[in-house]
């Protein structure tokens, strides 16, 4: 179901209906201290040829996640419009101020772009960007790819992500598209039920939706970037936008995992430095010691031992050792219990 566009001051320098390749910007009037009549520029490209679906691709949802933006920018530069059937709307750095700063949240308003959907066209700059995506971009699309990594705080096994849907037919299409990506793992992630993410909004509007988590740690992973490059093309083949010869073999199997709600996460309970007990990919069990938090500036204080709350495999680990109470230290993925 498409969202009715709300009044907005945003405008674009591209024509979504024109064939060929265009690169430009979404321009949102922005009047900070040093620029009375300026704009925030969000890069966007449109590649259109023939008849086929419209696929929207987003990177830079968080500014410290790099594999997706690199992959999308390469498509903008290198993809011959004659090779596609349909339309690609490519947005490599939607959270543009955060991307420039190399941080998760926007330095302009402090917001996490991926917790602002469906946005507010009269809100802060981050809320205005998500409103434009919700109101003006998603209604144009048939499918949405949201390319994430673990960012600065997590190292995650490279994986393609299913956003759950209450619509059984759409959920099945989402799983098929995510498995077509061909990542080493397919994981259903509901973000603890938060509806304010880009993928949740895309699913609510009826788009076939594919997410990713490509390693992380605030760096560019050679392996994850390779997986991302191949996976994006695999999905475009699956959707009929690229020809079959552009597909690459899958690196995973048909197994589908999930993050089993709040029990998937292990949180720090004290201020200190986290010592993990296991590597990503290892099998773990509920109740098993997961790691310890050490208070290095108070050696008389014993470490806090953390425990897993779910059976499965260790899917993600905190990258910085320094933690505060409530920081996510570990993430466990379990076998998916839902309907495929």
pLDDT in tens, 108-152: 999 999 999 999 999 999 999 999 999 999 999 999 999 999 999
* Contact status, residue 271 vs residue 295, Cβ threshold 8 Å: yes
What sections of 165-263 are H helices per DSSP?
168-181, 198-204, 222-238
pLDDT digits over 9-64, tens only? Answer: 999 999 999 999 999 999 999 998 999 999 999 999 999 999 999 999 999 999 99
| Cα 61 from Cα 212, distance rounded (Å) | 12
| Cα 148 from Cα 95, distance rounded (Å) | 12
pLDDT for 340 beyond 90: no
Dihedral of alpha carbons 320, 321, 327, 328, sign: positive
* Contact status, residue 267 vs residue 323, Cβ threshold 8 Å: no
| Cα 211 from Cα 122, distance rounded (Å) | 28
Pick the closest to residue 68 from 139, 191, 160 (CA basis): 160
Average pLDDT, the chain: 96
- Max CA distance (Å), the chain: 70
- The answer for residues whose C-beta is within 8 angstroms of residue 148's C-beta and 6 or more apart is 61, 62, 65, 68, 161, 211, 212, 213, 214
Mean pLDDT along residues 148-163: 96
Phi-psi region of 110 (alpha: psi -120 to 50; beta: other; left: phi over 0): left
Q: How far apart are the first and last CA of the chain?
A: 23
Mean pLDDT along residues 67-90: 98
Greater confidence (201 vs 33) lies with 201
Tell me the residue ranges of DSSP E strands in the chain.
11-12, 20-30, 38-49, 54-58, 86-91, 143-148, 154-162, 185-188, 208-216, 256-258, 265-267, 272-276, 283-284, 289-294, 304-307, 312-318, 322-323, 328-335
What's the pLDDT score for residue 254? 86
| Confidence label for 3 from pLDDT (cuts 50, 70 and 90) | low
What's the pLDDT score for residue 313? 98
| Cα 299 from Cα 301, distance rounded (Å) | 5
pLDDT digits over 233-290, tens only? Answer: 999 999 999 999 999 999 998 899 999 999 999 999 999 999 999 999 999 999 999 9
What's the pLDDT score for residue 338? 87
pLDDT for 1 beyond 60: no
Structural domains in the chain, CATH included, are 11-258 (3.40.630.10), 261-334 (2.40.50.100)
What's the pLDDT score for residue 169? 97
| Confidence label for 186 from pLDDT (cuts 50, 70 and 90) | very high
The predicted model scores a pTM of 0.96
Alpha carbons within 13 angstroms on the beta-carbon side of residue 92 total: 18
pLDDT digits over 295-314, tens only? Answer: 999 999 999 999 999 999 99
Size of the chain, expressed as the number of residues it contains: 340
What's the pLDDT score for residue 35? 92
Tell me if residue 321 falls in helix, strand or coil: coil
Residue 110, token pair as written in the block: 């402090």
What's the pLDDT score for residue 339? 80
């Amino acid at each position: 179901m498409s969202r009715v566009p709300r009044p907005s001051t945003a405008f674009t320098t591209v024509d979504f209906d024109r064939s060929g390749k265009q690169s430009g910007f979404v321009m949102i009037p922005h009047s900070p201290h040093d620029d009375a009549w300026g704009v925030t520029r969000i890069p966007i490209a449109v590649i259109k040829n023939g008849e086929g679906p419209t696929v929207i691709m987003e990177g830079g949802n968080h500014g410290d996640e790099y594999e997706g933006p690199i992959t999308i920018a390469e498509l903008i530069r290198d993809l011959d419009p004659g090779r596609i059937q349909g339309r690609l709307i490519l947005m490599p750095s939607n959270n543009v101020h955060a991307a420039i700063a190399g941080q998760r949240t926007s330095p302009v308003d402090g917001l996490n772009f991926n917790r602002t959907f469906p946005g507010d066209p009269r809100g802060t700059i981050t809320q205005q960007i998500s409103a434009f995506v919700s109101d003006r971009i998603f209604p144009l699309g048939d499918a949405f790819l949201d390319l994430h990594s673990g960012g600065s705080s997590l190292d995650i096994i490279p994986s393609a992500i299913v956003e759950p849907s209450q619509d059984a037919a759409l959920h099945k299409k989402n799983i098929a598209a995510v498995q077509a990506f061909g990542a080493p793992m397919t994981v259903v992630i509901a973000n603890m039920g938060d509806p304010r993410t880009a993928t949740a909004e895309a699913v609510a509007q009826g788009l076939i939706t594919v997410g990713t988590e490509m390693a992380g740690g605030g760096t560019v992973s050679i392996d994850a970037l390779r997986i991302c490059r191949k996976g994006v093309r695999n999905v475009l083949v699956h959707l009929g936008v690229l020809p079959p010869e552009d597909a690459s073999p899958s690196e995973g199997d048909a197994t589908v995992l999930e993050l089993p709600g709040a029990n998937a996460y292990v949180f720090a309970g004290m201020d200190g430095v986290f010592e993990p007990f296991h590597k990503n990919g290892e099998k773990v069990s509920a109740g098993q010691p997961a790691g310890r938090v050490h208070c290095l500036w108070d050696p008389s204080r014993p470490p806090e031992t953390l425990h897993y709350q779910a059976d499965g495999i260790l899917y993600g680990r905190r990258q910085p050792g320094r933690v505060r109470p409530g920081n996510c230290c570990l993430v466990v993925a379990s076998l998916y219990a839902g309907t495929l």
